[in-house]
Amino acid sequence: MFSKARLRVANVLLGVTGSVAAIHTPQLHGELRAAGHDVKIVVTKSSLYFFDAATIAPTAAGQRNKNVVILDEDEWPGSSYQRGDPVLHIELRRWADVLLIAPCDANTLAKLALGLTDNCLTCVYRAWDRTRRVILAPAMNTLMWQHPVTKRHLDQLTTDLGAALHVVLPISKKLACDDVGVGAMAERDAIIALLTAL
């Protein structure tokens, strides 16, 4: 039994990883907000190669809004931890009704399947309440998608999460590397439709 019966308007934690599909993050954020969801974004370092975090709900000074876009540096700010300091990945887990990782690159998929926790996003996932839903929208090169280890990783996540896991399968099109085949992140409207239907 899930802790939320159906998600109509939700606190959505959007995880963004190092796939070229991360270029869609500003639009996906805006479309989720337009659908009435509250959205926070936790990004991996490699995802920032594909979009500028300061362009999403920027502060009046045009800087990154740390309440909307979360970096690893926000989890580990560089100063010494003191007992009683907030633990960001736990706070994010408590806040979120659903974890949406879009795009989910091959590297992060492997980390999730193996339980690795080397960034804020993977820490959130490892601490996730498994009664709450997780939506993955994989995005990677066709041969990476078709590699046997990818299926093993998805199977492991299905074993770990059961009915809480929802995968929006990648689609076939011309990829950023000029290959044509399955591996592109699903269209944003398909991702939002799945989230809304839960």
Question: Which of 150, 70, 146, 61 shows the shortest CA–CA distance to 108?
Answer: 150
Task: Report the relative pairing of strands 98-104 and 69-70 from DSSP bridges.
Answer: unpaired
Terminal C-alpha separation, the chain: 13
**24, 37, 89, 153: which one is catalytic?**
89
Cβ proximity of 112 and 134 under 8 Å: no
* 120 part of the active site: no
* 37 part of the active site: no
**Sign of the C-alpha dihedral, residues 175, 173, 195, 3?**
negative
Residue 53: strand, helix, or coil = helix
**Which H helix or E strand runs over 102?**
strand 98-104
- Where does the chain have alpha helices with state H? 25-34, 72-75, 88-95, 106-114, 120-126, 142-146, 148-161, 188-197
User: Known catalytic residues?
Assistant: 89, 177
